[in-house]
Amino acid sequence: MIDIYVDGSPGTKDSFGLVAMVNRSVIIVNRVNRATNNMLEYKAVWHALQRAPRDKECTIYSDSELIVNHLNEEYKCKKQDLITAKERIVQYIKQNDLDVKFVWIARDKNPAGKILSKNLRTLLKMAQREDS
Tell me the pLDDT tens digit for each residue of 12-25: 555 666 665 554 56
- Of residues 130 and 60, the one with the higher pLDDT is 60
Please list the residues that pair with 3 across neighbouring strands: 59
pTM above 0.85, yes or no: no
What is the assigned CATH class of domain 2-131?
A: alpha beta
As a whole-number percent, the residues of the chain with pLDDT over 70 amount to: 67
Answer yes or no: are the C-beta atoms of 60 and 33 closer than 8 Å. no
Percent of the chain with pLDDT over 90: 37
Classify the C-alpha dihedral 113-121-31-35 as positive or negative.
positive
User: Does an H or E element contain 23, and which?
Assistant: none
User: Mean pLDDT score of the chain, rounded to an integer?
Assistant: 80
Alpha carbon distance 90, 70 (integer Å): 10
**pLDDT tens per residue across span 63-102:** 999 999 999 999 999 999 999 999 999 999 999 999 999 9
